Structure 1
């Protein structure tokens, strides 16, 4: 029986094809590519076939993302690769169309990815919707003396508690992931490195934790790369920063991922740090009504926004929608006056709060009168959307 054009890989030959594409697409040694495929699980990949041969692959990752204090189901996409012999022929576009069809069919209203090229992903409806920044703090500048909370190494039995601690913080951070095991593995076991975990706890239990990788730099000095940094209380934040500062005889910098205005930096006495943009991640709205109803909105705000959306890939997303917002929630119905006209790409940064309606209008990404723009700005107001995790 012929295999379908798009499905999970099957058999030893297709496993080797996935490993080969992984190795060549991401400059990995074949053993490292094989280890990654084994770790993730072959059945979780999707492949595109031409004349029965695997020519492209992707890794959909079912998870969630926090918007306005509410978890929105989201399918991340990683590991997109095309065999060298099939490049330049529209293969990646065909692959992504298949991936998006499957994810929408599975009920995901959103998809997010980190682009190696924006042109490809814009072609299928993704657009910039948030940021990931690198924060480099001089360890010598972490001059805290907080010792109120006990600090100890993380044990295997702590993982369930730490996941709850992370989720409590992430729910209040616009754009953060609701992590799944694949993402947690990147925290606990970064590729070819060792992450050391430490938590802080008080009378009420665990209040924060950090995972760090020690990288040797110059003259035996280290760089502390934080794969995760969570603090539920100011005391926990200061205690963890004190712990990092205690490395000043060994380490030059502590490095972690966050947003353009990371709250932990506010605690520092001086601006002994640098914040650098690493990536703009991209969002694709797969189901307009479901996405608009799933996210949270400002409490105390009531209003209706009339949208008219264009989407070349999904006919169900085309047309007019009325978004009614009240008590922090949204309700969508078909119809209305279509006062704000935009395509599915422009809906992504509007939805996430990455760009204001006025900014989108200024570059021709949406059309609306001033009153409608002001209403949309109030509805979609949010902190800058940030996604510290890579996938």
Structure 2
């Protein structure tokens, strides 16, 4: 196998070739035929074949995710594909390593992608941290939900979008790994394009208490003709009001396809037992740690936690200098603030993680013992283990947007 051609940044003239590559790899789209710029917030990378044709490409997104009541930059990987005629030549790994280096250089703490299987991604340091959760919800199950009469539901208008964003962000910051939906990829606070629709629930003072966004679709899996994107309520009463409204669709659709968080209060509000997983392939959520210090310092430490430990992360999955995950550091918590400092010579409690355990743990919601049960390296002194388990506690990662 010869060395692959250099990775280059793609421009508008390459857009039709990238579309054809993605269509060939994943299906389901009509490729463009004319040059067109890539969206703001997306960097397209590619490798040319020996005849000048495009052999492989990927899209590198600029995203931010919620993490430990804070937020970090995250590089999203989408559309990574190699033309069938150029497989086995190292293009896949070369593209991904270049994307990791660029993502690290611009300050991303993690890289994230949603493959249907782990494959080569794991060999490059990615770790499965969650799975996209989609359920088929029979709308008959929602009949008879009692609702608070002081709550009212109305269609979402453009003027309501700031309220929806505030509700979403308040929910997202209680989670780990949800996209914050900001920056050029998510535009302004205007109404999203059709077929997106939404309703908002307000209380007697007109204060927003929750919303449900959805699209009417062709009847699909299990008779679903509705896809629910977000179902966000500040409390149980708001969720019940939204579910009751969703049940009103039962006269024309039998079921809805609903995305949920990993630990979603919606699951406790549903009155029936008919909920079932989407039978189609559901993507994994894989994350790759790029910058250990950035991932830790973004967090807000839990009340009462004070102390300092040594943390060593081993990362042999990519060449040295590609990422900033590896190394030995001192992790200090004072007054709710997390600091990552150069490791000194003091005999602090010590933890050693491989890059997979580091991604799993720093994404939140897992303990070192759970990492070890998965066969990952997570060695620690008892005091260091208790410290990190407390610091990194929280809900397991969730995803409502995937690409």
Which bin holds the TM-score, normalised by the shorter protein?
A: 0.7 to 0.9
The number of equivalent residue pairs is: 381
Match in the other structure for 1:339 = 350
What's the counterpart of residue 229 of structure 1? 231
Q: What is the CA-CA distance between 1:11 and the residue it aligns to?
A: 4.9
Of 147, 169, 172, which residue of structure 1 is paired with 2:171? 169
- The CA distance in 1 between the partners of 2:268 and 2:33, in whole Å, is 43
Unaligned runs of 5+ in 1: none
Q: Which moved more, 1:267-276 or 1:126-135?
A: 267-276
Shift of 1:157: 3.7
Shift of 1:201: 2.4
CA contact (8 A) 1:341 1:368 kept: yes
Q: Which residue of 2 aligns with 1:263?
A: 265
Q: 1:287 to 1:254 in 2, by over 3 A?
A: same
Paired with 2:140 and 2:47, the residues of 1 have a C-alpha distance of 51
Deviation at 1:8, TM superposition (A): 3.0
- 3-state SS of paired residue (2:56): strand
Contact preservation (8 Å) 1:350, 1:357: yes
Label 1:360 to 1:81 Cα distance change in 2 as closer, same or farther (>3 A): same
CA separation of 1:177/1:43 partners in 2, compared to 1, >3 Å: closer, same or farther?
A: closer
Aligned twin of 1:291: 295
TM-score, normalising length: structure 2: 0.84
| Secondary structure of the corresponding residue to residue 85 of structure 1 | helix
CA distance in 1, matches of 2:187, 2:125: 28
Q: 1:144 to 1:131 in 2, by over 3 A?
A: same
Question: Which residue does the alignment assign to 2:401?
Answer: 389
| CA distance in structure 1 between the aligned counterparts of 2:252 and 2:131, rounded to whole angstroms | 31
Instruction: State which of 242, 245, 248 in structure 2 corresponds to 1:243.
Output: 245
Residue 320 of structure 1: which of 323, 328, 347 is its match?
Answer: 328
Distance in 2 between residues matched to 1:228 and 1:290, nearest whole Å:
29
Alignment partners' CA distance in 2, 1:254 and 1:374: 42
Equivalent positions of 1:61-80 (< 5 A) are 61-80=61-80
CA RMSD of aligned residues (A): 3.0
Distance between the aligned counterparts of 1:365 and 1:36, measured in 2?
A: 47
After superposition, the C-alpha distances for 1:229-274 in whole angstroms (9 at most, x for unaligned) are 2222333222111101122222222221123442012123343323
Partner residue in 2 for 1:136: 136
Distance 1:70 1:116 in 2: 29
Aligned counterparts of 1:179 and 1:299: Cα–Cα separation in 2: 28
Instruction: Provide the residue aligned with 1:95 in structure 2.
Output: 95
Q: Residue 40 of structure 1: CA displacement? A: 3.7
Per-residue CA distance 1:125-159 (angstroms, 9 max, x = gap) = 21112232123322112132424323222223433
Q: Distance in 2 between matches of 1:221 and 1:81?
A: 32
In the alignment, which residue of structure 1 is the partner of 2:46?
47
Does the CA contact (< 8 Å) of 1:129 and 1:354 recur in 2? no
DSSP-derived class of the 1:174 partner: coil
Change (3 A) 1:258 1:11: closer
The farther-off stretch of 238-247 and 131-140 is: 131-140
Q: How far apart are 1:35 and its partner, in Å? A: 10
Cα 1:267/1:248, change in 2 over 3 Å: same
TM-score normalised according to structure 1 size: 0.87
Tell me by how many angstroms 1:306 deviates: 1.5
Is the 1:360–1:366 Cα contact (8 Å) retained in structure 2? yes
> Residues 112 and 281 of structure 1 are in contact (CA less than 8 Å); yes or no, is this contact kept in structure 2?
yes
Which digits, 9 at most, give the CA deviation of each residue in 1:155-210, with x for residues without a partner? 2343333222211221112221101354589x945xxx823322222324322221
| Deviates most, 85-94 or 221-230 | 221-230
8 Å CA contact 1:130, 1:175 repeated in 2: no
Query: How big is each residue's C-alpha offset from its partner over 1:283-311, in whole Å with a ceiling of 9 and x where there is no partner?
Result: 11111112111123322212223211122
Structure with more of its chain in helix, by fraction? 1
Q: Does 2:112 correspond to 1:108? A: no
Contact 1:9 1:42 in 2 (8 A): no
Specify the SS of the correspondent of 2:282. strand
